[in-house]
Amino acid sequence: MIKTWLIVVFVSILMMITLLTVNLMLLVNVELSINFLKQKRKAITANSCIDDFFESINTILDDSVSSSRGNFSIMRETLEKEIEKLIERVSKTKGFLEECGLKISFRKSIVFFNNTEGYVIQIVAEAYAEDCEGLFSIRRNSNIVRFIPQETCKESNIAELFPNNSS
């Protein structure tokens, strides 16, 4: 009779240890899953911010070209002013993103040049996002180009935009 009780007690203790171990493994797995989801959320947020930045530059360029109606000085002024406003708005949100654990930086350069068939506006934008914990980083580039045929340009403004142009 005592041997039977010892077997029951031993099996019960073994089952309790097994259940505690399984529960501990589940808790650790849940904690790891939560941390993974937090990092995934940060990466998705960073990617969305970068996409929005590139899309905003694309839209600003389209609006500047269409609203200028061939007047390059107006187009250039509008483009540079609107992109500076965008950079200002982005810099205001950096504090919020850093509170979320993200460091994001943006750079851009605007190049105007002409060829035999027309004029080209090129914006090269670069975005870099990094997790404050150092777990991931994202670097993306965008090359946005618009071609404007010579026929649609007002000749009086060409000299202002392209001083070396002989036309």
Over residues 34-60, the pLDDT tens digits come to 888 888 888 898 899 899 999 999 999
For the chain, percent of residues with pLDDT exceeding 90: 15
Domain boundaries, the chain: 46-161
Q: What are 6's strand-pairing partners?
A: none
Number of helices and strands in the chain (H, E)? 3, 3
Q: Is the pTM of this model over 0.75?
A: no
- How far apart are alpha carbons 128 and 124 in whole angstroms? 14
66-79 per-position pLDDT tens digit: 887 777 778 888 88
Q: How far is CA 2 from CA 11, 14, 32, in A?
A: 14, 18, 45
E-strand ranges in 26-136 read: 102-114, 118-131
Give the pLDDT band of residue 166 (cuts 50, 70, 90).
Answer: very low
Mean pLDDT throughout 116-136? 86
- Do residues 144 and 86 lie in contact, with contact meaning Cβ atoms separated by under 8 Å? no
CA atoms within 13 A on the CB side of 144: 18
